[in-house]
């Protein structure tokens, strides 16, 4: 597998998925600073300077050149040019062709199908462009809306791990969801 350097933007019906830019700072801060958005993400509520530091790191996450890397893309609402969230794809392993997806969305834009649209395009990218065999998602088992989204994407719950991670000051349970390439091709046909 040679890696992945997408041609940007990746366009869906209403969204452009693209690498972050420094001028995304205000939009990124608008949701990185919300406790309800970051409750189940690996980062804490961020102030503006912490968001700037995180954004600077994201600027280089626009391609996958070796296993272990994350592709981190801004979810831009094409109609307004506003960055409403982020979607991620990890190239977890080359030999076994494994990947992982993640996403975060500003609360004002949740429940409108945007996360589904962005995640579906990232699954397409992982299976069709990167050549992955299996893509998983790992989430806190209290994150019901995310579990429903993954099921809507055709992913199946493969595991429920109890108190497997010490997360934000407490033991957390995790669900593992996954989808294989053959299942993707069947559902996307």
pLDDT given for residue 188 in this prediction: 84
pLDDT given for residue 86 in this prediction: 98
User: Does the structure show a pLDDT above 80 at 180?
Assistant: yes
- The total of other beta-carbon atoms located within 10 Å of residue 108's CB is 13
Contact at 8 Å (CB) between 33 and 50?
Answer: no
Q: What is the pLDDT of residues 1-52, one digit of tens each?
A: 689 999 999 999 999 999 999 999 999 999 999 999 999 999 999 999 999 9
CATH architecture of 10-133: 3-Layer(aba) Sandwich (3.40)
pLDDT given for residue 187 in this prediction: 85
Backbone angles phi, psi at 73, to 5 degrees: -120, 145
Which one, of 83, 132, 92, 105, lies nearest residue 39 by Cα? Answer: 105
Contact at 8 Å (CB) between 104 and 51?
Answer: no
Residues belonging to the chain: 189
Q: How far apart are CA 166 and CA 179, in angstroms?
A: 26
pLDDT given for residue 175 in this prediction: 98
Q: What is the pLDDT of residues 92-150, one digit of tens each?
A: 999 999 999 999 999 999 999 999 999 999 999 999 999 999 999 999 999 999 999 99
pTM of the model: 0.96
Backbone angles phi, psi at 153, to 5 degrees: -75, -5
pLDDT given for residue 57 in this prediction: 97
pLDDT given for residue 105 in this prediction: 97
User: Does the structure show a pLDDT above 70 at 63?
Assistant: yes
Strand partners, 11: 16
Q: How far apart are CA 75 and CA 87, in angstroms?
A: 7
pLDDT given for residue 1 in this prediction: 62
User: Does the structure show a pLDDT above 80 at 88?
Assistant: yes
Q: How far is CA 56 from CA 25, 37, 42, 104, 150, in A?
A: 10, 20, 17, 18, 29
Element (H, E) at 86: strand 82-93
> What is the band of 186 on the pLDDT scale with cuts at 50, 70, 90?
very high
């Amino acid at each position: 597998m040679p890696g992945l350097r997408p041609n940007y933007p990746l366009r869906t019906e209403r969204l452009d998925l693209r690498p972050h830019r420094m001028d995304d700072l205000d939009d990124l801060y608008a949701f990185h600073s919300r406790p309800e958005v970051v409750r189940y993400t690996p980062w804490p509520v961020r102030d503006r300077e912490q968001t700037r530091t995180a954004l600077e790191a994201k600027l280089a996450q626009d391609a996958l050149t070796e296993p272990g890397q994350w592709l981190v893309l801004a979810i831009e609402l094409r109609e307004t040019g506003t960055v409403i969230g982020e979607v991620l794809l990890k190239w977890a392993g080359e030999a076994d062709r494994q990947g992982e997806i993640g996403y975060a969305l500003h609360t004002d834009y949740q429940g409108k199908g945007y996360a589904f649209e962005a995640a579906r395009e990232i699954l397409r990218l992982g299976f069709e462009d990167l050549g992955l065999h299996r893509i998983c998602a790992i989430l806190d088992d209290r994150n019901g809306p995310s579990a429903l989204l993954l099921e809507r994407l055709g992913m199946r719950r493969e595991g429920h791990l109890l108190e497997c991670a010490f997360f934000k000051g407490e033991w957390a349970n995790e669900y593992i969801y996954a989808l294989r390439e053959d299942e993707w091709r069947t559902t996307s046909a």
